[in-house]
Amino acid sequence: MDSHGQYGQQVVWTVVGTDIGPLLLAATRDGLVNVVFHATGAARDRALERLAARLGTEPVEAPGSPLLTEAIRQVEAYFAGRGHDFDLPLDWSLISGFNRRVLRELASGVPYGEVVGYGDLACRVGRPGAAQAVGMAMGANPLPVVVPCHRVVESDGGIGGFGGGVDTKRRLLALEGVLPEPLF
């Protein structure tokens, strides 16, 4: 039971405009739980339905919620080029096992402006040869941008895939100085 005499998880959300389009940010009392690209219309509604199903409660739109205030501030600073690191409590409840281990290593071990190969990241978590599984973990990342799956690239220099789209990945890497700014 919480301090208001209610049972269950509270999930709040808002949409923040960014240079890569609208991002949905959702948080629980434990921290930021989900970041969703292209969060308008049907994509936003599907994301909220998935959150409700996974967390067992209906997310509430609450842009002024104290649970979201710092996440909004840090996302805005990142896209303005003023913030290089996210220092937020994260709720890892949407991911587990190997995927969680990989994403935690990525979040703590690959700083702003650097990239890592899928295979190298697999080695860092003690699973050499699991580059494809690392790619699957990146695709399952519930906290993109904040947990920087855009920093994972192919060993041959290719950019690799990205749940937000390859153009979005290029723009994020350009923002961090890894790639030149796209011409258009």
Residue where the block lists tokens 């937000």: 164
- Tell me the CA distances in angstroms from 24 to 27, 75, 136, 169, one per residue in order: 10, 11, 22, 17
| Residues forming the active site | 149
38 by DSSP, 3-state: which?
A: coil
- From residue 182, give the alpha-carbon distance in Å to each of 2, 45, 76, 105, 174: 48, 30, 21, 29, 8
Q: How far is CA 112 from its chain centroid? A: 14
Q: Give the relative orientation of helices 131-139 and 97-109 as an angle to the nearest 10 degrees.
A: 90
